[in-house]
A and B are shown apart, each in its own frame.
Chain A
Amino acid sequence: MSEEFPPVIQALAEAVSSEFPNGLLGRTSFRGNHRFHVCPKQSHAILKYLKTRGGFGMLVDLSAADYLQYPDAEDRYGVWYCLLDVENGRRLIVKTNANDPDPSLDSVVDLWEGANWMEREVYDMYGIEFRNHPDLRRILLPDEFVGHPLRRDYPMRGKGERHNFPVLTRAEG
């Protein structure tokens, strides 16, 4: 499903594809969401280009999805960066992907400081490693947690972590 791109986004797409010949894999649009699908190897360079030349100063959202059971999906993980041009109010979503066995991407913390915790969350939930991240640790789950709960092959009720505590009785209080 593809819609018309606004001229500015159209021009930007052409600029990106001339600057990075193999970087821009495709672009789609759906109900006002304009998406660039980019090559994971060049994602950092393209995002840097979009920030410095395209004016997208704010990273609104960064997250991922596991496309394990998705119809016609080729890559296991998709990672999206929702960008916002604060001065002109334009939005753009940049999508890239990662694959097993070692899903990894370049960190964008050097471009946007706000990406720090969001990348940690993606690492925690999906196990995607971000290269050059200053402090890549688990953020929501305890450090000794095994597994990545938002992956599709992880059961919703978990694997027994939640009932693994000593029981206190009334008499020992």
Chain B
Amino acid sequence: MALEDFLGDNIFVTKLNDIASWCRKNSLWPMPFATACCGIELMATGASKHDIARFGAEAFRFTPRQCDLMIVAGRVVMKMVPVLQRIWLQMPEPKWCISMGACASSGGVFDTYSVVQGIDRFLPVDVYIPGCPPRPEQLLQAVIDLQDKIQRTGTVLGSEFDRRIRPEGPRPLALEVPQELQIVAPGNFASSNRLVPGNCNGQANILKGFNGEKR
């Protein structure tokens, strides 16, 4: 191209979207939401042998307001879901989420009364990692995959997120128990509205989110 001939090797010509995504993908700041066993593998990934710093993602910050990548490592139980959602909402845009391990992705071996069967039912997830727990190499691969995704889809203003207005995971398991057997915790649990007993017919029963707007 004529322009490149004119500018020489010193100056690159690129799109603003590409350069912004390139910057973002190589400086991910993970927020380790480590709850269980996978958290130890997350620590192992950060430690000497596997060294996540090779991929530009070693700056673990424990405050959500400094992070743009949430790694949910370990099972999330019902007492923890409001905490998880609040932390997600506190993270600044643009942000991504890795669901690490079988428990976070699907409940894993814990198909019990208290374990959420996959965080993607209540939270958008970008990359899933299988394994119980995943090896550190798998987590590194997930980071690489996420970098690839950011490079391919990222825009400066984050407009790729604007279109994703529907819940992306599987539907909540509201129909799993017959309605007459359901007991749903009454009251306002950690500022999120909960289902009303006797009003359980699938998706439509979840009326309000954190900000109280109708969906």
Question: Bound pair: A and B?
Answer: yes
Contact surface of A with B, Cβ cutoff 8 Å: 141-142, 144-147, 149, 154-173
Across the interface, name the chain A residue whose C-beta is closest to B123: A168
Expressed in whole angstroms, the Cα–Cα distance for A141 and B114 within the complex equals: 9
A10 to chain B, nearest CB (A): 43
Q: Are B209 and A144 in contact (CB under 8 A)?
A: no
* Chain B residue contacts of A142, Cβ below 8 A: 78-79, 185, 189
Proximity string of chain B (30-53) to chain A, C-beta cutoff 8 Å, 1 when within and 0 when not: 000000000000000000000000
Residue in contact with A166 in the complex, picked from B112, B163, B165, B210, CB distance below 8 Å: B210
Please name the 4 residue pairs, one residue from A and one from B, whose CB atoms are nearest each other, closest first. A158-B113, A170-B164, A170-B124, A163-B172
Expressed in whole angstroms, the Cα–Cα distance for A160 and B194 within the complex equals: 11
For chain B, give the interface size range. Answer: 35 or more
A92 to chain B, nearest CB (A): 33
Query: Is the C-beta of B174 less than 8 angstroms from some C-beta in chain A?
Result: yes
Proximity string of chain B (64-86) to chain A, C-beta cutoff 8 Å, 1 when within and 0 when not: 00000000000001110110010
Residue in contact with B167 in the complex, picked from A145, A159, A167, CB distance below 8 Å: A167
Across the interface, name the chain A residue whose C-beta is closest to B116: A162
* Chain A residue contacts of B117, Cβ below 8 A: 162-163
Interface-central residue, A149, A155, A158, by most chain B CB under 10 Å: A158
Given contacts A165-B81, A167-B209, contact A159 B187 (CB under 8 A): no
Residue in contact with A160 in the complex, picked from B121, B177, B211, CB distance below 8 Å: B177
Q: Are A173 and B89 in contact (CB under 8 A)?
A: yes
B50 to chain A, nearest CB (A): 29
Question: What are 8 of the A-B contact pairs (CB < 8 Å)?
Answer: A158-B113, A159-B113, A160-B173, A161-B78, A162-B115, A163-B173, A169-B165, A173-B93
Residue in contact with B122 in the complex, picked from A161, A168, A172, A173, CB distance below 8 Å: A168
